[in-house]
Amino acid sequence: MIRSVLISPIRRYFRTKRLFRAAKEMARAKGKSLMVIGDPCSGNYFQFMSSMFPNCEHGEVTVDLNGCEDCTRMDINDMVAWERFEDGSFVVMETGVLGFSKDVEAVLGQIGRVSGGDFLSAGGNRGLLWVKYLYKTYSKDLVYSMDPFDSRKDEYYSGIKLGQKGSFRLKFYAQSD
Ligand SMILES: C[S@@+](CC[C@H](N)C(=O)[O-])C[C@H]1O[C@@H](n2cnc3c(N)ncnc32)[C@H](O)[C@@H]1O
């Protein structure tokens, strides 16, 4: 229980902060825009925590289905909506949204395309109770808990399907074609 509601979220919080700093610096060094997937002002299990202690900042573009007024409100599963973003123009920092993917490979393909390969993600909560039961109390649309990913060293994007046994592993490509 403590791992699910305290240790795993705290680890994820500091991992998000660290990877966000790296993504911001990478964007600056490469002269690219920063895309954050996941509204920094919301989305935590305890809403007030997100407002008081945000784990990252908005990017030049921030994508979230229910985001604040500074966000681009977009469903990551809408492949047509992704077309507004140019190939290779962003460093992408993802924070707890890809678990809502309907087709992870398709969403990852769009991230590969718009990022040109520069993609960081802090992954999801891995507390045992969370991945077995508690995720249902957060959202009925949450399907996966992803592993952290850092394109500077990782080749494969992976995660688990919540409430089920087994895991998936996908090669991350810089372009979808
Ligand atoms: C765990 S929060 C992520 C951001 C949060 N600040 C964090 O701590 O990581 C999950 C977010 O995913 C967004 N979301 C859920 N389904 C989505 C979808 N299909 N497309 C885009 N965003 C979605 C929710 O609005 C929510 O803000």
pLDDT of residue 89: 97
Number of domains making up the chain:
1
- Given the structure tokens 């991992």, which residue do they identify? 15
Ligand 1 atom 2, closest CA: 43
Domain span at residue 91 reads: 2-171
CA 32 to ligand 1 centroid distance, Å: 23
CA 59 to ligand 1 centroid distance, Å: 15
In a domain, 177, yes or no: no
Ligand 1 atom 20, closest CA: 75
One-letter amino acid of 134: L
With a 6 Å cutoff on the Cβ, whether 38 touches ligand 1 is yes
pLDDT of residue 129: 86
pLDDT of residue 3: 61
Q: Which residues of the chain have pLDDT under 50?
A: 176-177
pLDDT of residue 56: 94
pLDDT of residue 166: 87
Question: What own/partner pairs with CB < 8 Å and gap ≥ 24 does 157-164 have?
Answer: 157/104, 157/108, 157/121, 159/98, 159/99, 159/104, 159/123, 159/124, 160/131, 162/99, 162/131, 162/135, 163/131, 163/132, 163/133, 163/135, 163/136
In a domain, 176, yes or no: no
pLDDT of residue 127: 85
pLDDT of residue 66: 95
pLDDT of residue 7: 80
